[in-house]
Amino acid sequence: MSVRVRFAPSPTGYLHVGGLRTALYNYLFAKNQNGKFILRIEDTDRTRLVENSTQGLIEILNWAGIKYDEGPVVGGEYGPYVQSERLDIYNNHIKILINSGHAYYAFDTPEEIEQMRKMLQAKGLNPKYDRRTMKNQLTLSEDEVQRRVSSGEPYVVRLLVPDDHKIIFTDIIRGEVIVDSSEIDDQVLLKSDGYPTYHLANVVDDYSMKITHVIRGEEWLPSTPKHILLYQALGWELPKFAHLPLLLNKDRTKLSKRQGDVAVEDYRKKGYFKEAIVNFVALLGWNPSSDREIYDIQELIDSFKLEKVNKGGAVFDIEKLNWMNFQYLMKKDTKELAIQFKTILIDKGYPEFSNDYLEKVIKTHRERVTFLHQILDFCPYMFQKPEKFDKEYFEKYWKDYSLEILKELQIKYSKMDDFVHDNLHKVTLETASEKGLKLKDIIHPLRLVITGRSAGAGMFETMEILGKNECLTRIQHFIESYEKNKLVF
Ligand code: GLU
């Protein structure tokens, strides 16, 4: 039987990193097994819907490269399956369950239920729905039930959880799980607003979409016995289950907003590469080997094994993510980076630089930053003339002979045909020796003049990239400002 898996988010806001991990593991498993990956939007809880979150989810999955393989065709493309568009299917199954005696109508008001739970609690009992004393199909006459339903009285449909029944299943990651039916409440399957609950819609869809493996977060593990009861009531074969480990903060509490970002979108906005995010998220709970951390998506697909996913919680270590981003920054083709960087500059109002120029800047500066956009903070002088000069640096390295040397260099540089690193080094070193100075006695003032700052990439490399005209203009500008006492610090 060919593998079919699904990612089934509820459109209640942003995509959580844990959601991305679930989507990714489903995707990796599907691709590894030559199977299909399906996206299903579970929007039957109408009170939690957040407008536009479905579009946001699809957009961010696309960005991460997680494409789904089928769905209803919308505008020539596959759309996701959307539960609110499938209500008839759920209603049919509700009828089947009622007719076979596995589910029943219940007419209790929320206040009555609240009161019942309080009473049970007061007696020290499990506050489960007490089907024997409440107003439902099991306690009312058939006629009365019909009357209430046809008169439009609000009702829900509940699952009749069998008494004295052991629910046993094998989770691929956790092994055998046994739950006694006495621990399970008679679940609401159809709500009074006419929408099915998560449990019913999820099971009906997993079955009708021929899902072979249900791969989801550990927080859904308590729902699985309820789902199994539904599969049994409907006489359906069970899919295989795999519950992924929780994501934890560094202090091993459940990953929460309070300790950092949890929305994938936030990481994207901060400038993380999608390859770094995907690589990092893929290793939250699994690693193909013990001696490597960097894998591209194909390597992840090739080596993915559900059985190898850990049971224990996976710590979300932001430093590791930053390290990975740096690895990708170093590894990526500078042509691709230049295109991305151009957009960053344009967004910040800079003029357009050539790709060739940007590639050179990236090559010489990327090892000094973690994010591509940080290159701009690190060396703003590669994109505009320095307007201010570092005062401390000036006071430390600007000597009474510096102006004279700068003027001499200005002449020598202007005569250079090949304004490249080696020649700049040669010419500057010669000048230093003639004056009985060390190269650094010249380089520091020169760095100040050209960049305004005390730190940067190699000075001659920087000058080569900026080019002869630009360097001479900056030297001239500095000399003029200095002589007019107009240097801005
Ligand atoms: N709609 C559930 C969610 O929001 C899906 C859980 C499942 O995969 O069964 O995560």
Whether the CB of 22 sits within 6 Å of ligand 1: no
188: pLDDT strictly greater than 90: yes
Q: 10 C-alpha to center of ligand 1: Å?
A: 7
Q: 181 C-alpha to center of ligand 1: Å?
A: 22
Q: Per residue in 41-95, pLDDT tens?
A: 999 999 999 999 999 999 999 999 999 999 998 888 898 999 999 999 999 999 9
> Atom 6 (ligand 1): residue with closest C-alpha?
8
> Atom 10 (ligand 1): residue with closest C-alpha?
9
**Contact present, 361 and 379 (Cβ < 8 Å):** yes
Q: What pLDDT score was predicted for residue 360?
A: 98
Q: 6 C-alpha to center of ligand 1: Å?
A: 10
**Contact present, 94 and 189 (Cβ < 8 Å):** yes
Q: What pLDDT score was predicted for residue 457?
A: 97
pLDDT average, residue stretch 231-243: 98
Q: Which residues lie below 8 Å from residue 211, measured CB to CB, with a gap of 6+?
A: 4, 5, 6, 38, 205, 239
Q: 187 C-alpha to center of ligand 1: Å?
A: 17
Q: What is the mean pLDDT of the chain?
A: 96
Q: What pLDDT score was predicted for residue 108?
A: 97
Whether the CB of 11 sits within 6 Å of ligand 1: no
Whether 388 is catalytic is: no
Strand partners for 175: 171
Q: Per residue in 343-384, pLDDT tens?
A: 999 999 999 999 999 999 999 999 999 999 999 999 999 999
Nearest to 488 by CA among 204, 153, 477: 477
Q: Tell me the domains of the chain and their CATH numbers.
A: 1-76+245-331 (3.40.50.620), 88-196 (3.90.800.10), 332-378 (1.10.8.70), 385-489 (1.10.10.350)
* Length of the chain counted residue by residue: 489
Whether the CB of 224 sits within 6 Å of ligand 1: no
Q: Per residue in 276-317, pLDDT tens?
A: 999 999 999 999 988 999 999 999 999 999 999 999 999 999
Whether the CB of 202 sits within 6 Å of ligand 1: yes
Whether the CB of 216 sits within 6 Å of ligand 1: yes
pLDDT exceeding 70 applies to what percent of the chain?
A: 100
Q: Find the catalytic residue in 67, 166, 250, 257.
A: 257
Q: What pLDDT score was predicted for residue 257?
A: 82
